[in-house]
Amino acid sequence: MMRGLLGTALVPAVGTALVLAVGAAQAQSPETLSWLRKIHEATQRLSYTGTFVYHNGTRSETSRITRYVDGAGDIEKVEVMDGVPREIVRTKDMVRCYLPESRVVKVDRRVDQRTERGFPALVSERFTALARHYELSLGETRRIAGFDCQAVLLSPKDDLRYGYKLYADVKSGMLLRAVTVDSEGNPVEQFTFTQLAIGNVTRDMVKPRHAVRAWRVEHAEAQPTRLAGWGLAAELPGFEKVTELKRRLGESRPVGQMVYSDGLAAVSVFIEPLEGRGDPVRTGLASMGAIHIYTREVANHRVTVVGEAPAMSVQRIADSVEFHRPR
Amino acid sequence: MSDREIDRQLVARAQGGDKRAFELLVEKYQRKLARLLSRFIRDPAEVEDVTQEAFIKAYRALPAFRGDSAFYTWLYRIGINTAKNYLMAMGRRAPTSTEIEAEDAEGFEEGEQLRDINTPESVLLSKEIAETVNATIESLPEELRRAIQMREIEGMSYEDIAQAMDCPIGTVRSRIFRAREAIAEQLRPLLGTSKERRW
Amino acid sequence: MKDRISEFMDGELDGEAAGQVIDALTRDAGAREIWRIYHLIGDALRDNGVPTAWEPALMVPGRAQSQPRRARYAALAASLAAVALVGWLALAPQETAVAPVAQQQPPAQQQPPAAAAKASPLRIPLPSGTNDYLLAHQQFSPRVSLQGMAPYVRTVSEQVQESRK
């Protein structure tokens, strides 16, 4: 008995039923789509400081987030206050993750601008494509952290993906709460602001807390590339390849990465050569809230699939990874 | 002094402007109210929110509370109504009428800026607390355990407990206090202000 | 004072003595903490089988205004640091026993009816290097278009990382 977010039966398969569903979704979706655009624009336009809590069912963590905007661009900083201390700072070109306990900073250059946030037209197009796989509608209004929020509901049309409830400030579009729900409407993950102040951000508020002299620096060195011979035997409906690159993981392990997305959820396929080093590949599924990780061995490589989709979807993608030696 | 009298005194202080007195009532009843509302609302985060909202409404309506009913009865009605409104706004089925009082205890506007109450969200204490309490209880000397169970679970007065245990009332008072302190000592690290790496 | 609070909350104090306890409770944060813990104990003892035994947010009328901003955040963060959100997903089928040693209890593992078509997957602990995979993945998650950098906090304990470099 699969029920979507709104208590209506989900369309179980593609076909004529889907046409009707799409039609119905389109009747509602212009308003919902404009809400999604508004939410996206808020992430581009606003400066803010806030405290939010991330719940995933086995734990609960508080973080501070700050975003600073000026003529030169924007800088965003997230500092996690519980568990392992860590800080992530994103500038125009880079994402840096500071790990003071291990004295490591991981540096990732932002590589694929087309999937990044700076291109509103393309992002907007991506949101329109959402209506193919999610029923979009507006839910109730409620107050969160002192802001009047509108609920935007994305209810998946199949059980290959999660549903989402997004609560956005009616005035600014700022997302105050995001809940990921499974096919029974149970929350699997939630981000919620407990305090938020828009505006009044100075540049020093997004400076990293740590001086990284004598820390180990790990450069991802990501570059778009074709991973010759690698692909999926069968793509999961709705999940299209959005990027393909090679990079380093951890200290220096070279790895290929392919990312598949339906416009809202994303799944990464990591491919690492074994070459007789490292631990033997242990096949199976591990989970962390809404994120599932499936590992298996293909053609003497370790394949690790990481996805924000139900475990079954992550496993299906993992099982369909194949290698055909290029001629 | 009965339980109702305790609440009456706290309410009187709160109505006189002492916000801390209201806070004491919140601390006393929030879990009880949340347990009640969780019969209608499944998502714990939503139950939290609705419980919060109910307490905010109660606080704002406090000047109008005349003490005709017990405080918890009044709070309970507000809680049920808040949950009902929430469910209806969400398009879900509301609880049956046997659980809902016809009389509406509310009489104030929705959506006003709440500047006088600041509500931190999501302080969730969990199975860990319950398990610590129960484990400690099991390890207590029998007379302490019996005394606190009779008080908290069966709701017996000190006098009745004294009769049941065939001891002076002063002994009952002391046993209950010592049981509470023994459990509190185990709980304090879990509730402490130092950041603990739990995972 | 603790013993008087204990007595007062059981309704066994009267008149002036009770008034003194109420005075202390409304004026002294330490006394309020006692009240809080003692009531928590009572609720925990009476817990009658609701799937999650938990304590919702504490309403603090006016308190936040009297504390400087930083202290407020620290207090909130600190109180959250002490909790685990166990049992929240009593119905969720897909929790794995997480590798970090500090984990208190293995969550329930149930088979979701939806997965009947596929054989149930073999469960393994989170692989070492999970955080690196997560970090590499988050950049391409469309969630970032809606939430900014918040999803990046989804990582695991560093202990998982150590075995493979």
> Tens of pLDDT along A215-228?
888 888 888 888 98
Distance in Å from the first CA to the final CA of chain A: 48
The nearest alpha carbon in chain B to A177 belongs to: B45
Q: For B49-82, what is each residue's pLDDT tens digit? A: 888 888 888 988 999 998 888 899 899 889 988 9
Residues B90, A140: Cα–Cα separation, whole Å: 6
Stretch among A16-30, A186-200, B4-18 having the lowest mean pLDDT: A16-30
Is-contact A160 A317, C-beta < 8 A? no
* Interface contact C63, partner A, CB < 8 A: no
* Interface contact A183, partner C, CB < 8 A: yes
CA dihedral A122, A90, A249, A82 (to 10 degrees): -120
Average pLDDT of the residues of chain A: 83
Residue A70 CB contacts under 8 Å (≥ 6 apart), including other chains: A203
* Interface contact A74, partner C, CB < 8 A: no
Nearest to A307 by CA among A263, A266, A255: A266
Average pLDDT of the residues of chain B: 75
Nearest neighbour of C41 by CB, restricted to B34, B158, B183? B183
Nearest neighbour of C158 by CB, restricted to A102, A123, A242? A102
Phi, psi of B126 (to 5 degrees): -140, -155
* Interface contact A171, partner B, CB < 8 A: no
Q: For C54-79, what is each residue's pLDDT tens digit? A: 333 333 333 333 333 333 333 333 33
Mean pLDDT, to the nearest integer, of B117-146?
67
Residue A309: predicted pLDDT = 95
Residue A281: predicted pLDDT = 85
Please give the single-letter amino acid code of residue C154: R
Mean pLDDT, to the nearest integer, of A42-62?
88
* Interface contact B153, partner A, CB < 8 A: no
Residue B91 DSSP label: T
Q: Tell if the CB–CB gap between B27 and C32 is shorter than 8 Å.
A: yes
Q: For A303-312, what is each residue's pLDDT tens digit? A: 999 999 999 9
B117 three-class SS? coil
* Interface contact C150, partner A, CB < 8 A: yes
Q: For B135-183, what is each residue's pLDDT tens digit? A: 888 888 888 998 998 898 878 889 888 888 889 999 999 999 999 999 9
Residues A66, B1: Cα–Cα separation, whole Å: 52
Residue C119: predicted pLDDT = 58
Residues C105, C82: Cα–Cα separation, whole Å: 16
CB atoms within 10 A of CB C68: 8
pTM equals 0.54
Burial A155-177 (b: 16+ CB within 10 A, else e): bbbbbbbbbbbbbbbeebbbbbb
Chain C neighbors of A53, CB-CB under 8 A: 80
Q: How confident is the model at residue A70 (pLDDT cuts 50, 70, 90)?
A: confident
Q: What does the block give as tokens for C130?
A: 């999970």
Q: Tell if the CB–CB gap between A145 and B199 is shorter than 8 Å.
A: no
Residue A112: predicted pLDDT = 55
* Interface contact A312, partner C, CB < 8 A: yes
Q: Tell if the CB–CB gap between C89 and A188 is shorter than 8 Å.
A: yes
Chain B neighbors of C62, CB-CB under 8 A: 19, 116-118
Mean pLDDT, to the nearest integer, of A271-276?
83
Instruction: Choose the mutation target among C111, C154, C161, C163 for the interface with A, i.e. most A CBs under 10 Å.
Output: C154
Residue A121: predicted pLDDT = 58
The H-assigned helical ranges of C28-139 are 29-46, 63-66, 69-81, 130-138
A229 three-class SS? coil
Q: How confident is the model at residue B85 (pLDDT cuts 50, 70, 90)?
A: confident
In the complex, which subunits touch B with 3 or more CB pairs below 8 angstroms? A, C
> Which residue's entry shows tokens 């009747």?
A27
Give the distance, in angstroms, between the CA of residue A250 and the centroid of all CA atoms in the same chain: 20
Residue A199: predicted pLDDT = 92
* Interface contact A97, partner C, CB < 8 A: yes
Q: What does the block give as tokens for B179?
A: 């049981």
Mean pLDDT, to the nearest integer, of B170-197?
79
Looking at chain A, the whole-number percentage of residues with pLDDT higher than 90 is 46
> Which residue's entry shows tokens 């409304």?
C26
Q: Tell if the CB–CB gap between A250 and C164 is shorter than 8 Å.
A: yes
Q: How confident is the model at residue B188 (pLDDT cuts 50, 70, 90)?
A: confident
Is the pLDDT score of C31 beyond 60?
yes
* Interface contact A84, partner B, CB < 8 A: yes
Is the pLDDT score of B104 beyond 60?
no
Q: Tell if the CB–CB gap between C84 and B126 is shorter than 8 Å.
A: yes
Residue C65: predicted pLDDT = 32
Q: For C104-119, what is each residue's pLDDT tens digit? A: 334 444 434 444 444 5
Is the pLDDT score of C92 beyond 80?
no
Q: Which contiguous run of DSSP H or E holds residue A181?
A: strand A175-181
Beta bridge partners of A257: A245, A270
Chain A neighbors of B197, CB-CB under 8 A: 83-84
Residue B7: predicted pLDDT = 93
Q: How confident is the model at residue A263 (pLDDT cuts 50, 70, 90)?
A: confident
Is-contact B135 B185, C-beta < 8 A? no
Is the pLDDT score of B96 beyond 70?
no
List all residues of chain A from 62 to 81 with a beta carbon under 8 Å from chain B. 81
Chain B neighbors of C9, CB-CB under 8 A: 6
Is-contact A191 C150, C-beta < 8 A? yes
The H-assigned helical ranges of chain C are 2-9, 15-27, 29-46, 63-66, 69-81, 130-138, 143-147
Q: How many CA atoms lie less than 13 Å away from C90 in the CB half-sphere? A: 11
Q: Which contiguous run of DSSP H or E holds residue B150?
A: helix B142-152
Is-contact B130 C53, C-beta < 8 A? yes
Mean pLDDT, to the nearest integer, of A242-256?
88
Is the pLDDT score of A190 beyond 50?
yes
Give the gap in angstroms from C-alpha A276 to the nearest C-alpha of chain B: 32
Residue C29: predicted pLDDT = 86
Q: Tell if the CB–CB gap between C45 and B191 is shorter than 8 Å.
A: no
Residue A67: predicted pLDDT = 95
Q: Which residue has the higher pLDDT, B109 or C35?
A: C35
Mean pLDDT, to the nearest integer, of B7-22?
91
Q: Which residue has the higher pLDDT, C134 or B19?
A: C134
Q: For C121-164, what is each residue's pLDDT tens digit? A: 788 888 888 999 999 999 888 888 899 999 999 987 654 444 44
CA dihedral A81, A82, A83, A88 (to 10 degrees): -30
Mean pLDDT, to the nearest integer, of A10-34?
48
The nearest alpha carbon in chain A to C144 belongs to: A117
Is the pLDDT score of A105 beyond 70?
yes
The nearest alpha carbon in chain C to B53 belongs to: C59
> Which residue's entry shows tokens 């088979």?
C111
Q: Largest Cα–Cα distance in chain B? A: 57
Q: Tell if the CB–CB gap between B45 and A190 is shorter than 8 Å.
A: yes
Q: Tell if the CB–CB gap between C56 and B47 is shorter than 8 Å.
A: yes
Cα angle B151-B152-B158, degrees, rounded to a multiple of 5: 15
Q: Tell if the CB–CB gap between C127 and A36 is shorter than 8 Å.
A: no
Q: How confident is the model at residue B111 (pLDDT cuts 50, 70, 90)?
A: very low
Mean pLDDT, to the nearest integer, of A167-181?
95
Give the gap in angstroms from C-alpha B144 to the nearest C-alpha of chain C: 14
Give the gap in angstroms from C-alpha B1 to the nearest C-alpha of chain A: 39
Residue A278: predicted pLDDT = 66
Chain C neighbors of B128, CB-CB under 8 A: 83-84, 86, 104
Burial class (CB in 10 A: 0-12, 13-18, 19+), B15: middle
ipTM summary value: 0.86
* Interface contact B92, partner A, CB < 8 A: yes
Give the gap in angstroms from C-alpha C12 to the nearest C-alpha of chain A: 39
The nearest alpha carbon in chain B to A152 belongs to: B90
Is the pLDDT score of B17 beyond 90?
no
Q: How confident is the model at residue C103 (pLDDT cuts 50, 70, 90)?
A: very low
* Interface contact C148, partner A, CB < 8 A: yes
Chain A neighbors of B199, CB-CB under 8 A: 58-59, 83
